[in-house]
Amino acid sequence: MMNKLHGIIFAYLSNPDLRELTQHRNTCSIPYGGRYRVIDFMLSNMVNAGVSDVGLIVHANYQSLLDHVGSGKDWDLSRKHGGLRILPPFSYARRGGDYRGPMDALAGVSDYLNNIRQDYVILGRGDVALNLPVADVFQQHLDSGADVTVVCTPTLRGAPRSSEYVEVSESGRITALSIHPIAAGDQLESLELYVLSKQLLLSMVDYCAAHDVTDFSRGVLQPRLDSLKLIPYVHKGYVGRFQSVDDYYHRSMDLLDPAVRADLFNPQRPIRTKDQSNPSTYYGPSSTCTCSLVSDGCHIEGDVENSIISRGVIIEPGAKVVNSVLMQGTVVKAGASLAYVIADKSVTVNQGRMLMGHSTYPLAIAKGSVV
């Protein structure tokens, strides 16, 4: 069944509200949960359902993404035919500038879309963390006879001015679509993941290119609510959205909840990531570590509490890390103290320094900084 479904992931998205975290990467490349990147979740969702062909639409600032996904081997997508394909803006380069929306991005890779072998396509954002049973979504799409299946969540996660919401009739059909409203009502939040046929997608791309329509929801779905059969798939599991530094911090802290980890890292649908084969973490005789997620390859001789520690982090004797997120290669020198801090990759915190943010405004330190 899954050989009928092709995956397309919008991996070009870069939210300026993430500030320091997206200076050197786009949103889907942000490290999350210690050893993962946000893109790992959407890639794994598709692979776990047997999807064997996946295209990543990129545009700029994607070196970090290329370094991470490589040939797709770690997701079993390194194949002679099909597999993982990185899709730079082939036909868009002549126009220059950033993609103005999803339909603009799809028009930029129209040659690739025309050569898709499968009959159906799943369109997904690469900047959402969830464990989605894509096989169930596709089966519902076939059974319901929908033109477009829209994956939604009843648990509102996004900021209303950056999110979309749907209203559903008693018959189960989507009858209204609210895009970036001032406030969220009693509605389902769209995760902007869609299943539709290849032919319908191609006709939409052609129409949008001819009429300079760039947005999928506002330009395609909203005007066609009466003519297209839109059916929601309601995902009741955990959803992590990353629309600001504050969002990133709190979605990271969510992972300290065992119930969230059990849902997000369901062993029946494993989340795959780049294999780095690091050694085990070393804990010094005077170190303490409580209520934290610590990845492999770390060297901890200080105190860690309620924090997310990525691969290869060094915390020297007398250093204290509380309520913080430390990305790969961060070094916290002896006697330093961190609270409510997000340290990007390869940050060095000098001896005796005290850095303190707040739960409502965490302190983000840019990649490679020495503070």
Q: Give 35's pLDDT tier (boundaries 50, 70, 90).
A: very high
Inside any domain, residue 276: no
Residue with tokens 């961190």: 338
Residues 159 and 67 grouped into a single domain:
yes
Q: Give 149's pLDDT tier (boundaries 50, 70, 90).
A: very high
**Residue 95's domain is classified under what CATH number?**
3.90.550.10
How many domains does the chain divide into? 2
Residues 92 and 237 grouped into a single domain:
yes
- Segment 307-333 mean pLDDT: 98
Residues 209 and 303 grouped into a single domain:
no
Residues 183 and 67 grouped into a single domain:
yes
Whole-number percent of the chain with pLDDT over 70: 97
**Residue 351's domain is classified under what CATH number?**
2.160.10.10
* End position of a domain, from candidates 264, 297, 331: 264
For residues 46 and 241, give the distance between their C-alpha atoms in angstroms, rounded to a whole number: 18
Whole-number percent of the chain with pLDDT over 90: 83
Inside any domain, residue 370: no
Residues 155 and 219 grouped into a single domain:
yes
Inside any domain, residue 310: yes
Inside any domain, residue 167: yes
Residue with tokens 């801090």: 341
Residues 259 and 176 grouped into a single domain:
yes
pLDDT digits (tens, 9 = 90+) for 242-300: 999 999 999 999 999 999 999 999 999 999 999 888 899 999 999 999 999 999 999 99
Q: Running DSSP on this structure, what letter comes out for residue 59?
A: -
Inside any domain, residue 32: yes
* End position of a domain, from candidates 237, 264, 291: 264
Q: Give 93's pLDDT tier (boundaries 50, 70, 90).
A: very low
For residues 369 and 274, give the distance between their C-alpha atoms in angstroms, rounded to a whole number: 25
Question: 58 is in which domain, residue-wise?
Answer: 2-264
pTM of the model: 0.94
For residues 227 and 205, give the distance between their C-alpha atoms in angstroms, rounded to a whole number: 17
Q: Give 1's pLDDT tier (boundaries 50, 70, 90).
A: low
Residues 199 and 74 grouped into a single domain:
yes
Q: What angle do CA 240, 245, 247 make, to 5 degrees?
A: 30
Q: Running DSSP on this structure, what letter comes out for residue 333?
A: -
Q: How many CB atoms lie within 10 A of CB 48?
A: 21
Residues 140 and 252 grouped into a single domain:
yes
Residues 204 and 349 grouped into a single domain:
no
* End position of a domain, from candidates 212, 236, 264: 264
Q: Give 94's pLDDT tier (boundaries 50, 70, 90).
A: very low
Residues 322 and 209 grouped into a single domain:
no
Inside any domain, residue 271: no
234-269 burial, b if ≥16 CB within 10 A, otherwise e? ebeebbbbbbbbbbbbebbbbbeeeebeeebbeeeb
125-161 burial, b if ≥16 CB within 10 A, otherwise e? bbbbbbbbbbbebbebbeeeebbbbbbbbeebbbebe
Residues 161 and 238 grouped into a single domain:
yes
- Segment 313-327 mean pLDDT: 98
| pLDDT score recorded for residue 277 | 83
Given a cut of 70, whether residue 356 has pLDDT beyond it is yes
Residues 240 and 289 grouped into a single domain:
no
Beta strands in 26-119 (DSSP E): 31-32, 36-37, 53-57, 83-87
Inside any domain, residue 144: yes
- Segment 24-37 mean pLDDT: 93
Inside any domain, residue 277: no
